[in-house]
């Protein structure tokens, strides 16, 4: 990790990273690879044979398997060694999260436990809180849960009604309220609960299941992830010792939002694991299924599906590990003192809030795409629960809803970047201004591209960034402080930025691979990047023009549209052949090929 340039949050949009600046799955150490194998082995032997029982929410079995995961270290990657964990890098956590994904509902139990259920204490707990709770959480003796949502406070999480009042003797906070949709509620021993002290100061608390006044309501009947427990958590005069206040009174939002940031990118990592299984399961079926006297994998339309699934998964994968590497670099700048400080941790995590939202939206939507095609490739069998495709299809859907809905996260992508720009932490506006000037003299016809394998794609990614900056600049100028109210514009800017991060992450990973292993070894990756850029530059152009058509009018509009047209100038390449090549590779390997 030593020589990577550390990017500030959102900076990728204005500064081009070099291939060596990004972490890629090809950079895994032997240790990372072994950790992956351990997690996979665990899922294959402990979870998969028990899927049916787990889907029925077998309480004891779930906790048994969680404890086994603890024995293997699968719960402790983020917990420092002195508190019974392993204190590994974020890449290791990402590897575990990805590898556990095929565990279905158990992956939800695991994810909520290790993520939102444990990390608030890791990053914001006092020494005593860490000593008391983390060893139990890292070993799986206790299961953790996280209680932010209420019936009236979902996306608007700070609107919580749960109240905390100091007891007369000053020893307890008395909590009253009801949390909703709490993952692991049915079997958790500790809950991170947010409540408003005196009805106004939003604050985090560590609440134990056995504290007086704590109970859970009935299980929700859900579309998917049936093996995860989702219940209300009811606090009726719940007595929480004052030493269980997490971080500072009135600073609960710092915990809540930063933990969600990590949760978002972990969700993305889990989604990548799911996508890879979809590709592998789909091609296995397609190779084995004969219709019209041939395997259905020989049909062009099925090949297109296999290729698209694999290519999009490659972009998602590249993005997740790139972000994991960014976090490792950033958190690596903290010294031991800083690491114990909730405020310092929050600052480091908050840095990549926009990137976290990007990975959450992208990861969940690519997974949704993959599960849909997985069902489709199985035809009627995909619709029946005898095959896992049906469960995958249902289980995927929640990912667009929790950890901040994809609407909320889309708002956060440009929202966070604009805020950072206002604070002077991201040079968005000068960069946008510069482009307006450049545009006058820019002519796509005079562009000379070097004769390297992905020169055109590198160029298009650069141009896409200019388009993004241009429309973001124009929109910000027009609506100023009210831009956030223009959600349709915000969402389209988000979509442009998300696709740029995806294209660029896949591109940089592939360039890095070419430079290390040569063009031949990277030929399918090269094909993937070519296809992906080909399909996304027209989308980016359209979104940009739609934004402009709303924001500008008259001559100004015509000039701006012409500008976008120049920047997005691109002649389509033959992606049919490229996709066939990628699909043939998937078919040959009978698995996700990258």
Partner 1 sequence: MDIIICVKRIPMTQEVDLEIDDSGKDIKKDALAYVVNDWDNYAIEESVILKEKLGGTVTVITVGDEDDEDVLRRALAMGADKAIRIEPGELELDGFLISNILAQVIKGLEYDLVLTGVQADDDNFGMVGIMLAEKLGLAHSAVVTGFEAEGSEATINVELEGGLDEVSKIKLPALLSIQTGINEPRYVSIMGIRKAGKKELNVVKVEDIGLSDEELVRQTIIEEYFLPPETEGAEMIEGDPSNVAEAILRILKEKGVSV
Ligand X SMILES: Cc1cc2nc3c(=O)[nH]c(=O)nc-3n(C[C@H](O)[C@H](O)[C@H](O)COP(=O)(O)OP(=O)(O)OC[C@H]3O[C@@H](n4cnc5c(N)ncnc54)[C@H](O)[C@@H]3O)c2cc1C
Taking CB under 8 A as the rule, does residue 31 contact partner 1? yes
Cβ atoms 346, 254 nearer than 8 A: yes
Taking CB under 6 A as the rule, does residue 287 contact ligand X? no
Distances (CA, A) of 582 to 220, 283, 507, 526: 42, 12, 16, 10
Residue 377 contacts by C-beta under 8 Å, 6 or more apart in sequence?
Answer: 282, 285, 286, 296, 302, 305, 306
Compose the 84-123 pattern: x for residues touching ligand X by CB under 6 A, - for all others. Answer: ----------------------------x-----------
Ramachandran sector of residue 79 (left: φ over 0; alpha: ψ -120 to 50; beta: rest): beta
Q: Which of residues 450-489 bind ligand X (CB under 6 A)?
A: 487
Taking CB under 6 A as the rule, does residue 155 contact ligand X? yes
CB of 437 to ligand X, least distance (A): 35
Taking alpha carbons only, the member of 400, 402, 383 closest to residue 391 is 383
Work out what residue 337 binds among ligand X, partner 1, none; the CB cut-off runs from 5 to 8 Å by kind.
none
CA–CA gap between residue 148 and residue 557 (Å, rounded): 44
Taking CB under 8 A as the rule, does residue 71 contact partner 1? yes
CA–CA gap between residue 108 and residue 53 (Å, rounded): 15
CA–CA gap between residue 301 and residue 473 (Å, rounded): 41
Taking alpha carbons only, the member of 107, 112, 121, 122 closest to residue 149 is 112
Pick 23 or 142: Cβ nearer ligand X: 142
Taking CB under 6 A as the rule, does residue 250 contact ligand X? no
Catalytic center residues:
403
Taking CB under 6 A as the rule, does residue 230 contact ligand X? yes
Q: Which stretch binds partner 1 (CB under 8 A): 85-93, 184-192, 215-223, 542-550?
A: 85-93
Taking CB under 8 A as the rule, does residue 589 contact partner 1? yes
Taking CB under 8 A as the rule, does residue 73 contact partner 1? yes
Work out what residue 118 binds among ligand X, partner 1, none; the CB cut-off runs from 5 to 8 Å by kind.
none
Taking CB under 8 A as the rule, does residue 88 contact partner 1? yes
Work out what residue 41 binds among partner 1, ligand X, none; the CB cut-off runs from 5 to 8 Å by kind.
partner 1
Strands (E) in 148-303, as ranges, are: 163-166, 172-183, 190-197, 201-208, 214-216, 230-241, 245-246, 290-291, 294-295
Using Cβ positions, the residue closest to ligand X within the complex turns out to be 154
Backbone angles phi, psi at 221, to 5 degrees: -95, 115
Taking CB under 6 A as the rule, does residue 147 contact ligand X? yes
Q: Which of residues 557-586 bind ligand X (CB under 6 A)?
A: none
Taking CB under 8 A as the rule, does residue 86 contact partner 1? yes
Work out what residue 76 binds among partner 1, ligand X, none; the CB cut-off runs from 5 to 8 Å by kind.
partner 1
Backbone angles phi, psi at 368, to 5 degrees: -60, -40
| Torsion 121-124-125-131 (CA) sign | positive
Pick 335 or 588: Cβ nearer partner 1: 588
Residue 398 contacts by C-beta under 8 Å, 6 or more apart in sequence?
Answer: 222, 223, 224, 225
Binding-site member from 8, 19, 20, 38 for partner 1 (CB under 8 A): 38
CB of 594 to partner 1, least distance (A): 13
Tell me how crowded residue 449 is: count the other CB atoms within 10 A of its CB: 11
Taking CB under 8 A as the rule, does residue 426 contact partner 1? no
Site for ligand X, rule CB under 6 A: 112, 146-149, 154-155, 181-183, 222, 230, 289, 291-292, 296, 299, 301-302, 376-377, 379-381, 383, 398, 401-402, 405, 407-408, 487
Site for partner 1, rule CB under 8 A: 30-31, 33-35, 37-38, 41-42, 45, 71-74, 76-77, 86, 88, 92, 588-590
């Amino acid at each position: 990790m030593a020589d990577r340039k550390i990017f500030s949050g959102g900076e990728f949009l204005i500064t081009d990273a070099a291939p060596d600046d990004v972490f890629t799955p090809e950079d895994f150490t032997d240790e990372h690879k072994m950790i992956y194998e351990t997690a996979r082995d665990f899922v294959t032997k402990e979870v998969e044979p028990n899927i049916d029982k787990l889907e029925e929410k077998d309480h004891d079995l779930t906790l048994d398997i969680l404890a086994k995961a603890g024995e293997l270290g699968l719960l402790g990657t983020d917990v420092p060694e002195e508190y019974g964990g392993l204190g590994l890098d974020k890449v290791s956590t990402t590897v575990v999260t990805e590898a556990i994904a095929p565990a279905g509902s158990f992956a939800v139990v695991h994810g909520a436990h290790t993520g939102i259920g444990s990390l608030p204490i890791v990053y914001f707990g006092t020494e005593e809180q860490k000593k008391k709770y983390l060893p139990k959480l890292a070993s799986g003796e206790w299961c953790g849960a996280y209680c932010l949502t209420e019936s009236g406070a979902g996306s608007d999480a700070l609107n919580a009604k749960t109240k905390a009042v100091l007891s007369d003797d000053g020893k307890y906070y008395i909590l009253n309220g009801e949390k909703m949709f709490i993952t692991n509620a049915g079997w958790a021993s500790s809950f991170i609960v947010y409540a408003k002290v005196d009805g106004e100061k939003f604050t985090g608390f560590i609440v134990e299941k056995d504290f007086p006044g704590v109970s859970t309501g009935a299980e929700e009947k859900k579309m998917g992830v049936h093996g995860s427990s989702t219940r209300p958590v009811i606090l009726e005069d719940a007595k929480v010792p004052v030493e269980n206040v997490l971080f500072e009174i009135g600073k609960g939002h710092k915990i809540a939002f930063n933990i969600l940031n990590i949760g978002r990118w972990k969700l993305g990592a889990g989604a990548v694991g799911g996508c890879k299984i979809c590709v592998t399961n789909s091609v296995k079926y397609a190779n084995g299924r004969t219709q019209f006297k041939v395997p259905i994998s020989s049909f062009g339309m099925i090949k297109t599906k296999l290729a698209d699934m694999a290519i999009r998964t490659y972009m998602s994968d590249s993005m997740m590990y790139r972000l994991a590497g960014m976090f490792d670099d950033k958190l690596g700048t903290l010294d031991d003192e800083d690491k114990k400080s909730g405020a310092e941790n929050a600052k480091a995590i908050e840095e990549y809030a926009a990137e976290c939202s990007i990975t959450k939206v992208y990861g969940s939507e690519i997974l949704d795409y993959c599960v849909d095609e997985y069902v489709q490739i199985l035809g009627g069998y995909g619709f029946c629960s005898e095959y896992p495709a049906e469960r995958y299809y249902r289980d995927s859907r929640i990912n667009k809803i929790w950890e901040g809905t994809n609407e909320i996260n889309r708002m956060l992508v440009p929202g966070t970047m604009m805020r950072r720009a206002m604070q002077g932490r991201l040079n968005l506006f000068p960069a946008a201004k510069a482009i307006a000037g450049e545009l006058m003299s820019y002519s796509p016809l005079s562009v000379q591209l070097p004769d390297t394998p992905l020169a055109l794609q590198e160029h298009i990614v650069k141009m896409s960034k200019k388009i993004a900056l241009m429309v973001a600049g124009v929109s910000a100028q027009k609506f100023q402080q009210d831009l956030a109210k223009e959600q349709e514009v915000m969402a389209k800017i988000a979509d442009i930025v998300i696709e740029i991060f995806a294209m660029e992450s896949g591109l940089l990973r592939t360039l890095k691979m070419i430079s290390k292993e040569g063009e031949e070894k990277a030929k399918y990756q090269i094909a993937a990047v070519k296809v992906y850029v080909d399909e996304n530059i027209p989308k980016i152009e359209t979104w940009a023009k739609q934004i402009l058509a709303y924001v500008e009018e008259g001559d100004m509009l015509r000039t701006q549209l012409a500008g976008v047209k120049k920047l997005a100038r691109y002649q389509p390449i033959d992606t049919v052949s490229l996709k066939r090549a990628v699909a043939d590779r998937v078919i040959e390997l009978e698995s996700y090929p990258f």
